[in-house]
Structure 1
Amino acid sequence: MGEVYSAHRDDGQFAQQVAIKRILDTPLLDREQAAEHLAAERALLARLSHPGLATLIDGGVDAEGFPWLAMEQIEGRRLDHLVRETQPDFNTRLDLLLQAIDAVAYAHRQLVVHGDLKPANMMVEDDGRLRVLDFGIARSVGEDRDHPARGFTPGWASPEQRAGQSISTASDQYQLGLIAGWLLFGDAPHELPSGTPDSTGLSRGQLTDLRSVLDRSLRDDPEKRYPSLTMFRQDLLAVRGRLPIADRAGERWYVARRFFQRHRLPVSLGVLALFGLVLALAGTTWQARIAAEERDRARLEALRQDALREHLMLIFRETGVQGSDLNAKALLDASAAQLDTLYADDPELRRRVLLVLAELYFNLQDMTAARALIERYRSQVDADTPFVDQAMAAQIHAMVLLRQGDAVAAEAPLVEAETLAQALPPRASRLRGGILAARANWLRQQGRQDEGLAMQEQAVDMIAQAGDAGMLVLGIEQSNLGVGLLQALRFDEAEHYFREALDTWERGGLEENTHALTTLGNLGTSALLRGDLVAAEQSLRVAKAGHESGRPETGAYASVLSNLARIRLGLGDPYEARTLADKALGIAQRLSSEESMDVAGVRLVLSDIAFEQGQLEESRHLAAQALAAMQALVPAGHPLPLRAQLSLQRVDLRRDPTTVGELEALAKQLSGAPPMLARGATAAWLWAAEAHCSAGRASACASAAAAAALVAERVPITPMEQLEIRFWTAYAEDRYSEAAALLSAWVTDHGTSRPRTQALQEWLEARLRRD
């Protein structure tokens, strides 16, 4: 249908290697149909961002009228070539299959069906990461796109495709089942697996289960296949782990055999003495074990709640605050201070209370207190502490450290939580979802945005399936996913999850919880990043009032104050901005640590305020403090400190305009950073444009404005930044009346109170008088 080229940028702005797909005239498609076809593919690909999928970069129609797409260029080998050339072992093949399933499952969650899955459309990079390519005949779920490009690859097509019927997510599952049979057994498409234990390394029982799993995914009737790729994946993992597969979980002897296979040594020792008895009672024993695990989990949760209830009642009695106005935070502070005194003779109960209080402090976003308590708890863990409690404590510890911005220190407890979780029942649970969410947070702090967001989506899915989570926890994870998407500047998706979280809490009668205020504040932050300062202020004012209605101070309240400060600065009120930011700094210092990421963020706001007030020395000092904290909290080479460097460079430019070259070098670094940081490149290029225009360097001014426009093609920018790009371009090209008209139109819509508007007006008037 077309041709694919390796290509690179030729505009000199930055290095970028891509693969360009160009669709040609074929018997199936004329040129107009090809353009329509590729436009549909672009629309689908624009919805997808996952480490297992190739990323869309650009697209259009060339001078000859042929449509084209520019995609991320994947270096590696096609899956079929890799298998033929390296003959990987069974576990490696299964891992590759699971990666493919994860990527396609993500597309399904975005309501996209691939429709042409086959080994030739999968690339394996040198590090072993598999990428799914070519959504050429993909479509939205429920869409029946009927045009001549409705094709398929015969050897890898589902029955419904071959019959000319509509395809669905079940069609992709069928194709993955074919790939699984080929990959794991070496079978040709549409042949049932016929491998032997010698060729796969599996036991005969595992082979039987694997054939059953693939048979279900390959049923002719789509309704009889797995309901989702998640269940397909779980059964594949069950085969590898010698766990019962879904279709046979009710067979007692089968379940017992799988248990014996996983615990071969202890069972064999027991069989020497009690062979007959074990066989007779195996099914009952297994069922009793499952029931016991469920009872143990419920019992532990009940113990935690009872311990907290008893502890708080004791505190009320001992401190004499019954009926007083003491708020929940003060009560927690009083209770934590008396733990050793109250439970000197009951260390087990003291540990349980410690864990509950640490979790409560974390939910109140008091990371200093949460860290102290969780580290006390973990120092008291012994051999009798249940695995589930140890895993929960490690996960809370990791999340506290991540919230303090210390991803390096968070890695050890996070790995510990993941390891401990392997000893727990392999079912969806609040704890497993929380551990996934912690790893997602860690990935994002490492700059691995796409991987982190993909895992955060998995965490939300798991929490939604977990029977022990509840509406509060589900809403929290939905809101956290929204935060991750917001950091990627995917505004519509972020706001969708924020509103979904609010709806979740409303359905559960929990709309007044503190997290709802945090989410409302996040909606305001999204509006702020879009550049809609009025809408942002409305949301954040409501959130601020809610936080101040008798609630304890939280990190979310500090964030609301900090963002309100940005808005007031943008609207021309630096005095209220400083009052708000100073209060936010005090709260962040009390709840986190002096050198935490939260404190560094507020210091950057204060740096911007000082800059606008002409206090350049203070502005530089605050930015330098933030930079030092950031550099201490992230690995070498991480792009986050560039944000603080930008504030420093801005001050240096104001003091000495000849430093514009250093600013431009920083702008180039920021251009390749993740979206939230890449926005800073736009601001840097615009400051550079102003410096060049002020010095009469029209060509350099136009180039800087063009560089800002190039960044804007990759990440969304504010309306004010869009105006400035046009303003400096017009001025550099001697179109002064156009520059003045742009400012006049902006003032008509937004008034003259905004500092940047005033600065541009004054600058233009001074230049015109001088000229």
Structure 2
Amino acid sequence: MKLDSSKTDVYYLLLDLDDQQKREALEKLQKQHPSLYKQVAPLVAAEMSDQLDQIFQFTLEHSASQQVDYTNRQIDKYRILHEIGRGGMGVVYAACRADEAFEQKLAIKFLQSDLAPILSQQALFQEAQLLAKLNHPNIAKVFDGGIHNESVYIVMEQIEGQSLADYDKTQLNKNERLQLVVQLCNALEHSHQQGVVHGDLKPDNILIDSNQQVKLIDFNLTQKTNQDSNSQLIAFNKEYASPEQQSQATLTPLSDIYSVGKLLNWLFPNERTLSDLWAIQHHATDLAPTKRYSSIDKVRLDIEAVLSKRPVSQKKSIPFYPSLRLFQRNPITSSLCLLLALSGAFFTHFLVAKNQQLQKEKQIAENMIFEVSSMMFHSKSLAAQEMPLHAVVDLTRRRILANPEIPKHIKHKLLLVMMTPIEEKAAPTPTQNES
């Protein structure tokens, strides 16, 4: 092993050695190049502890700090202006066309040259070409790409704005934040249709311009090359990465759906349990991929349902829930309809009750007619028997009291009338002529 190599070269040479050879090489390195040993030893220790993602991140961050400065240089037909930012995967510069044929604000991202031993340049370049096929207003447009000094670079539109991570969320109300997520879902829907999974969704990779338009950037270019090379090194953010991505399984659009659910948790951390938004978050971040939303457009439709106060797909079967959302959507119209329905129900009940009352009064009248008719019928026979009138009235009173079809208040009134004394007419006095 050559000990005059750089830290990265030494580390990758050590990866090919067994444990015994690795220990011997490290002892030799410590004696001959102590400063280089101090840089390589943490990487080897992490690798021996199966912390490969830490190795990858450590290597890229260290490489980024030592990346060649391209400021004020011309790369192909582009002139580099100044650095915009840098991260684990590369450095981004503001640029323009060198020939000034077009006044176009560009951004050029140079991928780390240290990725070459892990991921082939050709594979990275093919991934960059795939991104160039994406054409959506919410995705940063990729115009061009190439290889310069063994570094793959990507030319894209320059976004004047700030990342969602740096954006002051307090400036946005709930609906405005949801609108940003809808735009993000639209961008992902387009990329998924083109067979491209983002693979690294996080607030830092979502830019917001001055018109509050989302621009999705930094697609994870290591995802497919990783699967092709059987490498275990995949770049992702553990806070937003799906369980299958963290276990280094094949990425699918369901992984992006999980990340969107995590972004919703980040945007709305205090959402009450069982609310519509909580139901979306919970469903999108299910640990089992098959239990999540089946596609990103279904996530978008549910978020749009929250914005328009319509039922979300996860709660449509709950009794009265659709009616509640209808009332929230159209409170005035719903209130008038409810008032009309209640008025109709009251009027119908009133008519039914009145009809029943009429039927009852009809029955009472018939019973009274029956009793009076009976009294008149029996009064003739009783008169023949010379029964006094008060006896006839008393008999009739008993019949009325015994009749269950006549209401008490009617009985009471009839009895009051019948209790009025009736004077019997005295028999005529015989005249002298009759005597």
| TM-score of Structure 1 vs Structure 2, range by shorter chain | 0.5 to 0.7
1:154 and 1:274, CA in 2 relative to 1: closer, same or farther beyond 3 A?
A: same
Q: Distance in 2 between matches of 1:147 and 1:22?
A: 22
After TM superposition, the score normalised by the length of structure 2 is: 0.54
Is residue 33 from structure 1 mapped to residue 119 from structure 2 by the alignment? yes
Match of 1:73 in 2: 158
AA of the residue aligned to 2:107: A
Specify which of 46, 49, 72 is matched with residue 132 of structure 2: 46
| 2:213 paired residue among 129, 133, 137 | 129
Matched, 1:105 2:189: yes
Indicate whether 1:13 and 2:80 are aligned.
Answer: no
Aligned length: 257
Deviation per CA, 1:347-378: give whole Å up to 9, x if none.
xxxxxxxxxxxxxxxxxxxxxxxxxxxxxxxx
CA RMSD for the aligned pairs?
2.8
Residue in 2 that maps onto 1:332: none
Partner of 1:61: 147
1:195 and 2:271 aligned: yes
CA contact (8 A) 1:238 1:245 kept: yes
The within-5 A match list for 1:636-675 is none
- Evaluate the alpha carbon distance shift between residue 31 and residue 65 of structure 1 in structure 2; reply closer, same or farther with a 3 A threshold: farther
Candidates 107, 111, 114, aligned match of 1:23: 111
Alignment of 1:710-725 (within 5 A): none
Instruction: Measure how far apart 1:269 and its partner are.
Output: 4.2
| Residue equivalent to 1:610 | none
Aligned equivalent of 1:253: 320
Aligned counterparts of 1:3 and 1:72: Cα–Cα separation in 2: 15
**In the superposition, relative to structure 1, how do residues 144 and 181 fare at CA in structure 2: closer, same or farther (>3 Å)?**
farther
Cα distance, 1:22–1:170 mapped onto 2, change above 3 Å: same
% identical aligned pairs:
34
Larger Rg: 2
> SS in structure 1 opposite 2:138?
coil
- Deviation string for 1:504-538 (max 9, x for gaps)? xxxxxxxxxxxxxxxxxxxxxxxxxxxxxxxxxxx
Q: 2 CA distance for matches of 1:138 and 1:24?
A: 12
Alignment of 1:448-487 (within 5 A): none
| Displacement of 1:146 | 3.6
- Report how far residue 49 of structure 1 moved: 1.0
Note if contact 1:57-1:70 (Cα within 8 Å) is conserved in structure 2: yes
Question: 1:351-500 counterparts in 2 under 5 A?
Answer: none
Change (3 A) 1:57 1:263: closer
Aligned-residue offset at 1:58: 1.7
Gaps of 5+ in 2: 1-88, 346-435
Matched, 1:118 2:206: no
**CA distance 1:129–1:253, change in 2 (3 Å):** same
Scaled by the length of structure 1, the TM-score of the pair is 0.31
Match for residue 238 of structure 1? 305
Letter in 2 for 1:14: F
Cα shift readout 1:529-554 (whole Å, capped 9, x = no counterpart): xxxxxxxxxxxxxxxxxxxxxxxxxx
Give 3-state SS (helix, strand or coil) of 1:81's partner.
Answer: coil
Letter in 1 for 2:111: I
Tell me how far apart the structure 2 counterparts of residues 144 and 277 of structure 1 sit (CA, whole Å): 70
Aligned to 1:211: 278
Residue aligned with 1:82, SS: coil
Deviation at 1:161, TM superposition (A): 0.9
Q: Deviations over 1:577-620 (max 9, x none)?
A: xxxxxxxxxxxxxxxxxxxxxxxxxxxxxxxxxxxxxxxxxxxx
Report which of the two has the higher share of helix: 1
Distance 1:137 1:158 in 2: 17
Aligned to 1:220: 287
- For residues 67 and 98 of structure 1, the distance between their equivalents in structure 2, rounded to whole angstroms, comes to 32
* Conservation of the 8 A alpha-carbon contact between 1:139 and 1:145: no
Inter-CA distance 25–14: structure 2 relative to 1 (3 Å threshold): closer
Q: Give the letter aligned to residue 252 of structure 2.
A: S
Q: Deviations over 1:113-150 (max 9, x none)?
A: 11111111011111221110011336579x76643552
Q: Shift of residue 2 of structure 1?
A: 1.8
CA contact (8 A) 1:41 1:136 kept: no
Q: Secondary structure at the match of 1:113?
A: coil
Amino acid at match of 2:180: L
Matched, 1:152 2:236: yes
> Is the CA contact (8 Å cut-off) linking 2:124 and 2:221 kept in structure 1?
no
Go from structure 1 to structure 2 and tell me whether the alpha carbon gap of 1:234 and 1:3 turns closer, same or farther (over 3 Å shift): same
Normalized per residue, the structure richer in strand is: 2
What is the CA distance between 1:38 and its match in structure 2? 2.6
| C-alpha spacing 1:238/1:68, structure 2 compared with 1 (3 Å) | same
